[in-house]
Structure 1
Amino acid sequence: MIDAAQTRTTILVAACETIAELGFEKVRMRNVAERAGVSTALLHYHFENREKLFHEALRYTFETVGREEYEAPAPAENPHAWRLARIIDSSLPMDEDTRRDGLLWQELWLRAARDKESREFTHWLYAELRDWIGGVIAEGVAAGSFGPCDPRRVADLVLVLTDGYSVHLAFGDPAFDLQAAETTIWRLVSAELGLTVPFPRRHPDGSS
């Protein structure tokens, strides 16, 4: 028997896929219900309208995308740098999940520019991201892995850089590629953290 939590997750995944594929303005609740394999009545039971569903879908991606990589045991050498690198990875379109996640964020930016509720939600979501990234940086500073810095300011730098590169990578700008983006972001962030190690890639051969 499928429980309510599992149904909610199925709907959220379907919403993420549908919104990324069609764009928020074209999505109707029935589109999401059909992809999730549920009735529109059940969909409305969990989410009263499109806005609530969209915001919860974004909250879901924030909580899940890249989690498996981030929560995997870090190597003994430079563990804090490894964690920060995984945050950068999860913020760039490196695979199907992160590409979909990036498209959802772009939809949110458009909504936030025109809609007060979406703007307030965006402020909250970025505050959560800033706290998460800043917390990882603060831990690295406390452990002596990073040099003295303002963790929140460096977190903002990470956010601005990954957001900017994500836009170009999402639409396949030939002037940009993933590894070059990672390298450039890491160089600029490393200058703030006093790091000299190269970007810790997920695989020893340097692949993504």
Structure 2
Amino acid sequence: MHNETLAVTGGRKRGRPAGSDSEQTRRTILAAARDTIAERGYRAATFQLIAQRAGVSRPTLHYYFDTREELYDTLLADVCARVRQCAEVAAGEGSLRRQLAAFTSELGRLGAAEPAMMKLVVTARIDHHRAQYRHDAAAEIVATVHGFYDAAVADAARRGELPAGTDPRAVSDMLSALFWGLGFHAGFLTPGTPVHNAPEVARQLLALLDGGLLNGSLGAPSAT
């Protein structure tokens, strides 16, 4: 991988297009790559498609990023940093319920500003899980999400917020599964719906958790 090729500060490379606005062009390419990969997945997002969407030539694209892998890693590293910021804000809350609500709210703001963001996160998770395109940055996104839930549930257990006998690992895994399921739902199953719908689904899930999800006793199956 070529993570050192071009820093966010927009350093010069040999052959820079004459008269170009280096940082603006770079941002345009990253936005085009993010949207193309979110829509098509990493495998189908060719340099040619990304260049066309960005409105630049292939040589210009190669000036900023030597390989598609370098471009992808740059995108995922940025996404990971943003998800980590959301987790850090949420971790400062004083209860599990408030931490979950804050994490959802922070991610919702990200999704509202950049609708392809959550779809890219889920696409990276799927590609990484398939072991076809194992990128360190994708693994770091997954670790950041799961690390947030692990820490939040462990803190809740120490504060006595969970019933006696609760398995913290199982609760953390459940919350992580809800996160990825909600992300998949918002990014792939409800295309074209308003961005605020995903946080609304999350609020309903929190309300169910508040009530105990299955608060009553289950009756025996009816005979047929």
TM-score, structure 2 as length reference: 0.57
The percent identity for this pair of structures is 18
Which of 6, 21, 34 pairs up with 2:9? 6
Q: Match of 1:167, as an amino acid?
A: F
CA drift of 1:160 comes to: 0.7
Choose between structure 1 and 2: higher helix proportion.
Answer: 1
Bigger Rg over Cα: 2
Q: Find 1:102's aligned residue among 95, 98, 118.
A: 118
Deviation at 1:20, TM superposition (A): 2.6
Letter in 1 for 2:176: L
| Residues 1:88 and 2:91 aligned together | no
Match of residue 33, structure 2, among 15, 27, 35: 15
Give CA-to-partner distance per residue, 1:44-81, whole Å, 9 cap, x none. Answer: 2xxx4223432442232122148369638967xx5553
> Amino acid of the residue matched to residue 175 of structure 2?
V
Q: Deviations over 1:120-170 (max 9, x none)?
A: 76555423321222113323333x262264444322211111221222233
User: Which secondary structure does the structure 2 equivalent of 1:6 belong to?
Assistant: coil
Partners in 2 of 1:73 and 1:138 — Cα distance?
A: 12
Structure 1 spans left out of the alignment, 5+ residues: 193-208
Asked whether the equivalents of residues 91 and 162 of structure 1 are also in contact (C-alpha less than 8 Å), the reply is no
1:42 to 50, 53, 63: 63
Alignment partners' CA distance in 1, 2:104 and 2:157? 18
What amino acid is aligned across from residue 161 of structure 1 in structure 2? L
AA at the equivalent of 1:5: V
Partner-residue secondary structure (3-state), 1:5: coil
SS in 2 for 1:24: coil
Deviation at 1:183, TM superposition (A): 1.7
Q: Which runs of 5+ in 2 are unaligned?
A: 1-5, 11-22, 214-224
The answer to which of 55-64 and 108-117 deviates more is 108-117
Partner residue in 1 for 2:20: none
Q: Please state whether the residue corresponding to 2:101 is helix, strand or coil.
A: helix
What pairs up with 1:48-59 in 2 under 5 angstroms?
Answer: 48-59=66-77
Residue 42 (structure 2) pairs with residue 24 (structure 1): yes
Q: Which residue of 1 aligns with 2:127?
A: 111
Q: Give the AA of the match of 1:71.
A: V
Task: Give the corresponding residue for 2:220.
Answer: none
Cα 1:180–1:96, aligned 2, differ >3 Å: closer, same or farther? Answer: closer
Shift of 1:34: 7.2
Kindly indicate whether the alpha-carbon contact (under 8 Å) linking 2:89 and 2:102 is maintained by their aligned counterparts in 1. Answer: no
Q: How many residues align?
A: 182
What is the aligned-residue RMSD (CA, Å)? Answer: 4.3
| Residue 77 of structure 2 is aligned to residue 62 of structure 1 | no
Residue 157 (structure 1) aligns with = 174
Would the aligned equivalents of 1:20 and 1:100 in 2 still touch at CA under 8 Å? yes
Structural mapping, 1:173-188, within 5 Å: 177-178=197-198, 179-185=200-206, 187-188=208-209
Aligned CA distance change for structure 1 residues 132 and 110 (closer, same or farther; 3 Å): closer
Whether the 8 Å CA contact 1:70–1:86 is kept in 2: the answer is: no
- Letter of the 2:7 partner, please give it: A
Which residue matches 1:128? 144
Please state whether the residue corresponding to 1:95 is helix, strand or coil.
Answer: helix
Q: Which residue of 2 aligns with 1:146?
A: 161
TM-score normalised per structure 1:
0.60
Contact 1:112 1:119 in 2 (8 A): yes
Moved more, 66-75 or 148-157: 66-75
Q: Distance in 2 between matches of 1:117 and 1:189?
A: 38
> How big is the shift at 1:104?
1.0
